[in-house]
Amino acid sequence: MPLFEDIVHKALASEMRRDILLSLSKGEKYLTEIANEIGKKPQTIDFHLSLLEEIGLVRSEVKEGKKYYSITDRRILDFLRRNRPIPMELRPKPPHEIVLDMWEDMKERLDRIEKKLDKVSR
């Protein structure tokens, strides 16, 4: 999978971010306009806009005292309109799976440390 699509899949694992991008497909908007259109709190939209801006899918520009957002790459709209499924490996994991993965990683690390300590103590 090309890098652009890999990043897009990760960004679009959230329905909220997909909705924001679809809202911006109609033209640049400021935070409150997007929040009203989507029906979510501005703080929630701001969080997701920050992420989209950080990865380069959205840009912002201050005009007349308001921060306006727009899409940086129109290819994202083709991706959204094709409604392609997000591969399982790119979907966010539920918290319990994250904890289990961390635990497994920690066990492996501790086992390696224990083996090294056994070698040193001989």
User: Could you state, in order of their start, the residue ranges of all structural domains in the chain?
Assistant: 3-91, 92-122
Query: In sequence order, what are the residues at sequence separation of 6 or more whose Cβ sits closer than 8 angstroms to the Cβ of residue 55?
Result: 7, 11
Mapping DSSP onto H, E and C, the string for the chain reads CCHHHHHHHHHCCCHHHHHHHHHHCCCCEEHHHHHHHHCCCHHHHHHHHHHHHHCCCEEEEEECCEEEEEECCCHHHHHHHHCCCCCHHHCCCCHHHHHHHHHHHHHHHHHHHHHHHHHHHC
Q: What's the pTM value of the predicted model, to 2 decimals? A: 0.61
**Which of the four CATH numbers 2.40.10.120, 1.10.540.10, 1.10.10.10, 2.60.40.10 does domain 3-91 have?**
1.10.10.10
- In this predicted model, what pLDDT tens digit does every residue of 79-120 receive, in sequence order? 677 766 555 554 556 667 777 888 888 999 999 999 989 888
Per-residue pLDDT tens over the stretch 7-34: 666 777 788 998 999 999 999 999 999 9
Pairwise CA distance, residues 106 & 43, whole Å: 35
